Structure 1
Amino acid sequence: MKKEHISIVVASDNHYSILIAALLKSIDVNHHTDEHIDFHIIDDGISSKTKEKIQTIADPSRITIKWFNSKKIIPDSIVIPVDNSAFPLTVYLRVFSPYVVDKDVEKLIYLDVDTIVQDDISKLWNTPLGDYIAGAVQDVGKTMDCEWGGVPNYKELGFTADTKYFNSGVLMINAKRWREENYSAQVISALSKYKEHVRLADQYGLNVVLANKWLELDPKWNWFAFKENEDPSIVHFLDIKPIFTSYNSKEVYREEFFRYLSMTPWKNFKPISGNKRNIRKIYNKIKKAFLKL
């Protein structure tokens, strides 16, 4: 009997595409079971030169890299609402990840590109979702009443203050049900309807629509890089990414990131000025302002 392929989806623009290299190599190094991996990349403007480099990172007999143009992922009938954050519009692409995988694929793992995998991804893949739409890890803010994130209008929506709130950077998704019940449109609708309450981009909409419908995963599968852990399964660089000199999370995780990166065509990469990060954030805000106009 043919083993099921592991379906992974990521999304990136050219600015953060180098992160894909370390992530992909980390998956490759730590995957020891015989399931083949289909690694889907939603390309939001990645250069052809970078694509060529990424293509060389993993053995195609173990990991197949599949490319998808971001402009072809979002249905014409859907308009992504523009928020006031400095997040790039690329972050919204995760909402459409179930439409990237083949139609016979019933589940997928979505990973933010600012993660590295320190364990065999098959362990997460083989975690049963049961009747849940998605599996995720509780966010730093923990609950919907988090003052700086969360769901500010949770009372209006009929939720309690202690309703658990998840981080959308690592998701196990029941792709079949997601497509059948059109969760992408539901999330975008929530973001449009309650746009004055949106603080963390699509994460707000996902938590509104999936409230009490998600399976809580072990925190080790989305471990935030500013916290100590001797054995995390996935490390998530929530704040400043390790490619910048201004990186401010645990040093051990930056070392791990560069260990994987050194096994790729970017082995001689040196961290760049944190000013470039700030300029990019300003650029994202200006771009959104123009889109609103």
Structure 2
Amino acid sequence: MSIKDTITIVVATDNHYAILLGALIKSIEVNHKTPEKIDLHIIDDGISESSRKKIIGSSNPAMTTMHWHKTATVIPPNVKIPVDKSAFPITSYLRLFAPYIIPQDAERFLYLDVDMIVIEDISKLWHTDLGDKLFAAVPDLAKIFASDWGGVPNYKELGFAPDTPYFNAGMLLVDPVQWRKDDLSNKVIQSIFDNISSASFPDQYGLNITLANRWVILDQRWNTFAILDVKDPWLIHYLDIKPIFKSYNCNVAYKDEFYKYLRMTPWKDHQPVPDWVRLSRKAYNKMRKIVSGYLN
């Protein structure tokens, strides 16, 4: 599958954040100006039928083709996911299996967290030159392994230099052929198991220590965190409290930008919801991990 004809995108969401995917899809389509079609693979971690209809209604079928994948079919039956103590949803791990659900002839794919909107033409990101690297990403707020916030607390024990660049895993442009060849999904998972006490941001931690220095460092505007005030962002990432909640406390202009696209979807009448909804969701995430052992 040529990168000149099709932009392959993978996302994952549960029903609670399906609304975010609606805004993301619309933002991609509105700002995509070049001829490539969008091949969108959605990992469905419990999306309701009504939410699914709204997601479909958020897109232009002439531009975007959707493929749906249930979580149970994405995680191989012999793979066990680490049960960490964070409140991050199970869906955050699903990016690790993206290279296996896309067409095997795809030369690259773009993974996007659903709590994003894309303001620049996504084809500009898509055609990034990876050179001899495995993937492209943007540095995290913790820009290096030795960061006091996030980062890799045990970098010394693992033999990494303190200034090893540390990326945010919310947006990844990946070579899936090399990924599969190197069996990286299993290696990342094993790295989390081996270092579970140091993995505060579990899958992101595992990705960073497994794929250190194998990435192209992109302009920050391709993953602009909503807590910042970056002029002319190309992609906004609402990595803290999402704009669908009344307690959203990040850049107000970025919240307005989110609702600009949401109003173009079947969720156009949505109003921000109380914070107890968000907090109960966090509690649910933790309980689900404990009870299910992450599905396996």
- The normalised TM-score by structure 1 is 0.97
Please provide the CA RMSD for this pair: 1.4
C-alpha displacement at 1:159, in angstroms?
Answer: 0.2
| Contact 1:225 1:237 (C-alpha < 8 Å) held by counterparts | yes
Name the CA distance, whole Å, in 2 between partners of 1:87 and 1:118: 26
Alignment of 1:108-257 (within 5 A): 108-257=109-258
SS in 1 for 2:154: coil
CA-CA distance at 1:104 after TM superposition:
0.5
What is the match of residue 54 of structure 1?
55
Measured in 1, the distance between the counterparts of 2:51 and 2:284 equals 22
**Corresponding residue number in structure 1 for 2:41:** 40
Aligned pair count? 293
Map of 1:74 onto structure 2: 75
Tell me, in whole angstroms, the C-alpha distance in 2 between the residues paired with 1:4 and 1:79.
36
8 A Cα contact 1:136 1:216, kept in partner: yes
Q: Extract unaligned runs of 5+ from structure 1.
A: none
User: In structure 2, do the counterparts of structure 1 residues 252 and 179 end up closer, same or farther at CA, with 3 Å as the change threshold?
Assistant: same
Is 1:282 the counterpart of 2:295 in the alignment? no
Amino acid at match of 1:52: K
Per the alignment, residue 22 of structure 2 pairs with 21
Asked whether the equivalents of residues 114 and 241 of structure 1 are also in contact (C-alpha less than 8 Å), the reply is yes
Contact 2:3-2:107 within 8 A present in 1 as well:
no
Q: CA offset at residue 289 of structure 1? A: 2.7
Residue 88 of structure 1 aligns with an amino acid whose one-letter code is: P
Report Cα offsets for 1:118-168 as digits up to 9, x if no partner: 000000000111111111100001111122311111111110111111000
Opposite residue 94 of structure 2, the aligned amino acid is L
Name the SS of the counterpart of 2:156 in structure 1.
Answer: coil
Preserved contact between residue 82 and residue 291 of structure 1 (Cα < 8 Å): no
3-state SS of 1:162 partner: coil
Distance in 1 (CA, whole Å) between partners of 2:35 and 2:5 is 10
Unaligned runs of 5+ residues in structure 2 are none
- Structure 1 position 290, deviation (Å): 2.6
For 2:251 and 2:44, the matched residues in 1 are separated by 29
- Matched residue type, 1:75: P
- The alpha-carbon deviation at position 3 of structure 1 amounts to 4.0
1:69 shift after superposition: 0.7
Q: Once the two structures are aligned, what percentage of the paired residues are identical?
A: 51
| Structure 1 position 286, deviation (Å) | 2.0
TM-score by length of 2: 0.96
Give me the whole-angstrom Cα distance separating, in 2, the residues matched to 1:250 and 1:264: 22
Which amino acid in structure 1 is aligned with residue 183 of structure 2? N
* AA at the equivalent of 1:135: A
**Residue 11 of structure 1: aligned partner:** 12
Which amino acid letter does the alignment assign opposite residue 151 of structure 1? Answer: V
Q: Please state how far the C-alpha of 1:292 moved relative to its aligned partner.
A: 5.1
Task: Give 1:2 shift.
Answer: 9.8
Residue by residue over 1:240-264, the C-alpha shift from the partner in whole angstroms, topping out at 9 and shown as x without a partner, is 0000000011001110100100000
